[in-house]
Structure 1
Amino acid sequence: MATVQATSRGSLKAKRATPRIAPDRLVDITVQAGVIVVLCLAWEFGARVGAINPFLLPSLSDVLARIWADAMSGTVFVDLGLTLYRTLAGFLIAAALGIPIGVLMARSATVRWFFDPLISVGFPMPKIAFLPIFILWFDIYDTSKIIMVTFSCFFPIVAATYAGTTGQDKWPIWSARALGAREHEILWEVRLPLALPQILTGLQVALPVGMITTIVTEMLMGGRGVGGSMIMAGRFADSVGVFAGIVEIVFLGFAVVRSLEMLRARLLVWHPEARK
């Protein structure tokens, strides 16, 4: 009898631990996958029947064959690794600088008076215009590229952190003070958790911006990386190589953005948005 009960309890725990996909989520995934499949089939069919000039748009099978050949030689992993390294390095530096500055802007009027004009002017500016200056000040290798990514990611992170830290409900803060919490305890245990959804939104905005900046800087400066390989293929009229780089960027961007979404879901498991 005890064995039967233990077995039934174990099966119940296994059923509870097994993740289930909601029906509406399953429909969304099916529709999204169907759209991608249709576009890929239309691309391949249009190139095969000659409806599109193969030089202007090579077939998907040729592009995938190039990616496979480059993967066998190892060049794909080197290019993707360098692009990912530059993107994440600049993004993490921007997060390490932007989040504290955004919190300090919300907490200190002096800090806000100093940084608010800089953020207001720098946010809408095209950051890539500063690339020649960074090349002049630093070098033509990874340093200037990473600083360019940091510069591009910095502003949305600061703005999101500042907005999340200022627009907060006062009742949890007042309750914490009534219970005897100190200001640094309120900051770490009340203010930052309340601002975390907005901060993560800023990070989710900044990460694709950082990847775009990395690709553009690699195209403009050359060298190894997905952007550098694409511009080199374009100079030699290698359209298959150019589209191979585009497909690689699509997969890399999807993996990076999806990873950040999963991190958001993990960090906000306590938040009401996790129940949706």
Structure 2
Amino acid sequence: MTSQSAVTSAPDKTKPQAPRKRFTTTQIVDIGVQTSVIVVLCLAWQLGAKMGAINPFLLPALSDVLGRIWSDMMSGAVFVDLALTLYRTLSGFFIAAILGIPIGILMSRVAVFRWFFDPLISVGFPMPKIAFLPIFILWFDIYDTSKIIMVTFSCFFPIVAATYAGAVGQDKWPLWSARSFGATELQTLWEVRLPAAMPQILTGLQVALPVGMITTIVTEMLMGGRGIGGSMIMAGRFADSVGVFAGILEIVFLGFVVVRGLEAVRRRLLIWHPETRK
């Protein structure tokens, strides 16, 4: 009995193990080159400011900017500004996605929706959306509501355009195959049309999210208040160049995290797609 239990409890060495994810040589080289470029730029920034090659008022030293960010982190001001900017950006972005994706699908399926929205999208897409900010301030308020609606308005157009393009330019053979097996129109939508359009939809979301962040920061600069944009414009009014560049680095960090996060979501949702297998 003891020997049998020992045999059964012993690990099965013949069972194939899942391959560990390893970086390829190309990926290692890419990471090394990108890191080197960032390090060289930071060193040039720091040395140029400290050696007097650049006016420290126009371009303060990187160490001074990082010291300002650290002191703001200790006081909690950075986290408040980052949280407010991220909240406004993501709120407007998700509202635009909830509205834009169904409208893009309906435009590809229903002629009435296409006739109504196609001229609006064609005219509104290239327009500078920030021009509508005074109207939104008059209609709503000077607080978060108008800022979030401004972000929603900016993100709406690329999401609708990408969804419509992905839903229209689909191969007919999967649709015909699904219908030949008796799939209903709703089943065809959820199991064929949406998965086929998903890469294009996610591309539209990846375009819209940075646009939403830019809109958030610009509206904060124009309207004031807390947030990264508001803190930067306040520092600029008091000729605080260190505070302005601290806000720029905070924007870089926040943008990097948000964009990389959406890329991870794309890989997760498109795990079945050939682009993910590559």
TM-score bucket of the superposed structures, by smaller chain: over 0.9
Query: Secondary structure of 2:176's match?
Result: helix
Counterpart residue number, 2:13? 8
CA distance in 2, matches of 1:56, 1:174: 63
TM, length-normalised to structure 1? 0.96
Query: Secondary structure of 1:19's match?
Result: coil
After superposition, give the CA deviation of every residue in 1:87-129 in whole Å (9 maximum; x if it has no partner). 0000000000000000000000010000000000000000000
CA distance in 2, matches of 1:5, 1:168: 52
User: Structure 2 stretches of 5 or more lacking a match?
Assistant: 1-5
Q: How many residues align?
A: 273
CA distance in 2, matches of 1:3, 1:30: 47
Q: Judging changes above 3 Å, is the alpha-carbon distance between structure 1 residues 9 and 33 closer, same or farther for their aligned structure 2 residues?
A: farther
User: Structure 1 stretches of 5 or more lacking a match?
Assistant: none
Counterpart residue number, 1:45? 47
**Pairwise CA distance, 1:5:** 6.5
TM, length-normalised to structure 2? 0.96
Counterpart residue number, 1:27? 29
Query: Secondary structure of 2:11's match?
Result: helix
CA distance in 2, matches of 1:27, 1:101: 43
CA distance in 2, matches of 1:168, 1:226: 41
Map 1:164-203 → 2, pairs under 5 A: 164-203=166-205
What code does the residue aligned with 1:132 have? P
After superposition, give the CA deviation of every residue in 1:8-36 in whole Å (9 maximum; x if it has no partner). 357x53x52x3212221221111111111
**Pairwise CA distance, 1:3:** 7.2
CA distance in 2, matches of 1:185, 1:29: 43
**Pairwise CA distance, 1:210:** 0.1
- Aligned-pair identity in percent equals 77
CA distance in 1, matches of 2:270, 2:24: 19
CA distance in 2, matches of 1:199, 1:154: 12
Q: CA RMSD in A?
A: 1.4
Is 1:65 aligned to 2:67, yes or no?
Answer: yes
What code does the residue aligned with 1:148 have? M
CA distance in 1, matches of 2:14, 2:167: 45
CA distance in 2, matches of 1:29, 1:263: 21
Question: Which of the two has higher C-alpha Rg?
Answer: 2
CA distance in 2, matches of 1:23, 1:275: 18
What code does the residue aligned with 1:160 have? A
- The correspondence for 2:246, drawn from 241, 244, 247, is 244
Q: Judging changes above 3 Å, is the alpha-carbon distance between structure 1 residues 106 and 66 closer, same or farther for their aligned structure 2 residues?
A: same
Counterpart residue number, 1:154? 156
CA distance in 2, matches of 1:66, 1:3: 62
Query: Secondary structure of 2:56's match?
Result: coil
CA distance in 2, matches of 1:117, 1:5: 69
CA distance in 2, matches of 1:266, 1:219: 35
**Pairwise CA distance, 1:4:** 9.6
